[in-house]
């Protein structure tokens, strides 16, 4: 496939991307205190033409003051049909299919770089061998319990470490490339 799938996500030191109820207050509070740095997000999001997110990530995005994915094509992977506001209906679609089917469809529609976000969605793409790159930003906080970034895998997935950068805020960002991705 000529399509590239990447993960760019913040994670607590104990491996969680959100609290059990999906709340990311711990991340937004720390993020507000370090707002002067974007940790490479703008460069990354500018390289992306399509997002694939889970329903919970989509619904969280709807609560933000401004839709965080303006100008990007967004596919929400969900077995349910969440409501899409009229103002987003041109760029947001909801599908229920496997990651392999979705990537095939997106590739046929011209997608070249896909940003995969949301715990279950990332896990499904990892299990399908579709993630080529991961950028993980470890936030110096333990939240004790929550939604883990990684879950059960069908097989080992090896990654090659590309680089690690430590920020004054205490954030530590590491980039990896999959060794055995599809």
Segment 84-140, tens digit of pLDDT? 888 888 999 999 999 999 999 999 999 999 999 999 999 999 999 999 999 999 999
Cα–Cα distance between 26 and 20 in angstroms, integer? 12
One of 3.40.430.10, 3.30.1540.20, 1.10.3720.10, 1.20.1250.20 is the CATH number of 4-110+120-167, namely: 3.40.430.10
Choice between 31 and 158, residue whose per-residue pLDDT is larger: 158
Q: How confident is the model at residue 55, as a pLDDT? A: 92
Domains of the chain by residue range: 4-110+120-167
**In contact, 73 and 49? CB cutoff 8 Å:** yes
Q: How confident is the model at residue 181, as a pLDDT? A: 56
Question: What is the token pair recorded at 44?
Answer: 């990354």
- The structure's pTM equals 0.91
Helix (H, G, I), strand (E, B) or coil at 77: strand
Q: Where are the alpha helices (H) located in the chain, listed in sequence order?
A: 25-33, 41-46, 55-62, 99-108, 119-127
Q: How confident is the model at residue 72, as a pLDDT? A: 93
Q: How confident is the model at residue 120, as a pLDDT? A: 92
Q: How confident is the model at residue 153, as a pLDDT? A: 84
Q: How confident is the model at residue 155, as a pLDDT? A: 86
The per-residue pLDDT of the chain, averaged, comes to 91
Tell me, what DSSP letter sits at residue 122? H
């Amino acid at each position: 496939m000529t399509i590239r799938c990447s993960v760019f996500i913040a994670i607590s030191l104990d491996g969680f991307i959100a609290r059990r109820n999906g709340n990311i207050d711990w991340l937004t509070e720390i993020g507000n205190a370090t707002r002067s740095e974007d940790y490479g997000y703008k460069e990354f999001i500018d390289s992306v033409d399509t997002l694939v997110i889970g329903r919970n990530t989509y619904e969280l995005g709807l609560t933000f003051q401004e839709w965080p994915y303006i100008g990007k094509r967004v596919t929400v992977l969900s077995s349910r049909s969440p409501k899409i506001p009229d103002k987003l209906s041109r760029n947001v679609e909801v599908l229920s299919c496997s990651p392999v089917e979705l990537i095939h469809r997106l590739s046929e529609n011209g997608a070249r770089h896909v940003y995969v976000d949301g715990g279950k969605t990332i896990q499904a793409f990892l299990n399908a061998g579709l993630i080529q790159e991961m950028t993980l930003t470890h936030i110096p906080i333990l939240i004790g319990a929550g939604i883990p970034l990684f879950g059960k895998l069908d097989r080992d997935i090896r990654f090659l470490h590309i680089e690690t950068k430590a920020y004054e805020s205490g954030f530590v960002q590491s980039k990896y490339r999959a060794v055995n991705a599809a």
